[in-house]
Amino acid sequence: MNNTAILKELIDQVWNKKEFSLVEKLVATEYTIHFDTGDPWEGKTIGNDEYIIRLHYSFDSFPDMHFAIETTVADGNFVAITWIMTGTNLGNIGTIPATGKAIKAFGTTIYHFCNGKVCGHTQVFDRTAVMKQLGFLP
């Protein structure tokens, strides 16, 4: 399976369908968040168990979170995607209570690959737009 197919399986099966049992198959045992401003794990290298904790962190706030991949560009050990994320804020975001509001956000992520598994990412995502849609910012 090529890197693009691996990534599409990760987004579809793990992120969209919450098949966490596939994390070990698709994600390297050392996964580094190289740059993802606002992500509590930014700059850290995590294992599969912590990757699943990170998934739960996202789904606790937005249980219906869904990613639609718009474009993919592969180059060696990197696959870049642009995506649209949708979801409804039905759980707390940290200590902030749920709003019940729906969001739609756009982003770009470059996924890093090592030995046929996803081993990290670099991401640009406008979290300010999400905060505005949730009513936390004007």
Mean pLDDT over each residue of the chain, to the nearest integer = 96
* HEC profile of 8-44: HHHHHHHHHCCCHHHHHHHEEEEEEEEECCCCCCCCC
Model confidence at 88: pLDDT above 90 = yes
Average pLDDT over residues 31-54: 94
Predicted TM-score (pTM) of the model is: 0.94
Ordered structural domains, the chain, with CATH: 3-133 (3.10.450.50)
DSSP state of 96: B
**Residue 111 class from Cβ within 10 Å (0-12 exposed, 13-18 middle, 19+ buried)?**
buried
CB 36 within 8 A of CB 54: no
Would the pLDDT of 37 be above 90?
Answer: no
Nearest to 84 by CA among 59, 62, 109: 109
Question: Residue 36: is its pLDDT beyond 90?
Answer: no
Token pair recorded at residue 86 = 């949708």
**d(C-alpha 125, C-alpha 109), whole Å:** 8
**Which range is most confident: 93-97, 112-116, 134-138?**
112-116
Confidence of residue 68 (pLDDT cuts 50, 70, 90): very high
Residue 1 banded pLDDT, cuts 50, 70, 90:
confident
